[in-house]
Amino acid sequence: MIVVQLLGGLGNQMFQYACGRALALRTGKQLFLDVGCYSVYSGRRYELDVLNIQANIINLEEDKEIGQRLGIPGIPVYSERHYNFDHNVFVLRDSVFLQGGFWQTEKYFQDFASVIREELSPKLPSLSAESLNIARDIKKQLSIAIHVRRTDYAIYDKLGFLPMGYYENVRRYLETVFPAARYYVFSDDVAWCKREFTVFPNAYVVERKGEVGCHEDLWLMSQCQHNVIANSTYSWWGAWLNDNSQKLVIAPDRWFAGEHLDTQDLLPDKWIKIPVQNSFTE
């Protein structure tokens, strides 16, 4: 069996699932996702239930017996050794518990990319009528999704806010490539975006009338023809799940503000890196 410990928010959970699922497909073994950390730590929750994943969900914090029945204590634990791609994960063939890792590179699942794209798509009943209407509008024109991550990054010093200067550099680049594009701005700080993105021509800040799941905006980002991402695994997936073979994806050339981690494997080679000038925070 392949057991993967889930940690963090939706974007992180998707990376952990994709790594584990590809490993399960490679080895012909069953995949189990341990959601136990969400019973212990507040502020995050398990979110993959609205997607078409193929895995068994277990909670090793609340149900110790299930671990014993499955023989999980007897299988080896493999932890993430560093931030960039670990070749040793790719060649694992026996049962293993992937614990304490984020596995943030497509290299762990690129050989099963089409399967991962299908399984990380939302179940149709989970999409609101509002999202479906926005998607129809997106498909009518040359659309570019822009993601801005702000509010929760205030407590994660190592990440940091991307400055508006990054998005202005993006605008100058895109105006030369797609002068007639319609920009769809997705963010956890709508008020800030409404104020700052007035400099973008033809921009629409997506503002919800009611509560929707995080997966809905992520799905809408993937429906646009092109993507501009933040230093966020959430918008990384919005761009990666975009199945437009001609898509242009723009990403910041720096991912972390407070740590110098090796991010050489995080962004796919075809994605365009735009400089983050000066400080991350504003």
The domain spanning residue 174 has which CATH number?
3.40.50.2000
- How many folded domains does the chain comprise? 2
Question: Where a domain ends, among 119, 140, 155?
Answer: 119
Averaged pLDDT of the chain: 93
Note the pLDDT tens digit of each residue in 60-110. 999 999 999 999 999 999 999 999 999 999 999 999 999 999 999 999 999
Q: Are residues 107 and 145 in the same domain?
A: no
Residue 282 belongs to some domain of the structure = no
**Which of 162, 156, 159 is CA-nearest to residue 44?**
156
Range of the domain at 107: 2-119
Residue 256, pLDDT score: 85
Residue 48 belongs to some domain of the structure = yes
Question: Where a domain ends, among 119, 135, 167?
Answer: 119
Residue 155, pLDDT score: 56
Q: Are residues 141 and 66 in the same domain?
A: no
Query: Angle at the Cα of 84 (from 30 to 14), degrees rounded to 5?
Result: 40
Residue 280 belongs to some domain of the structure = no
Output the CA–CA distances (angstroms, integers) from residue 219 to 21, 174, 236, 250, in the order listed: 20, 22, 12, 18
Q: Are residues 36 and 158 in the same domain?
A: no
Q: Are residues 133 and 178 in the same domain?
A: yes
Q: What is the pTM of this model?
A: 0.95
Q: Are residues 95 and 133 in the same domain?
A: no
- Give residues with Cβ within 8 angstroms of 200, minimum separation 6: 146, 167, 171, 183, 185
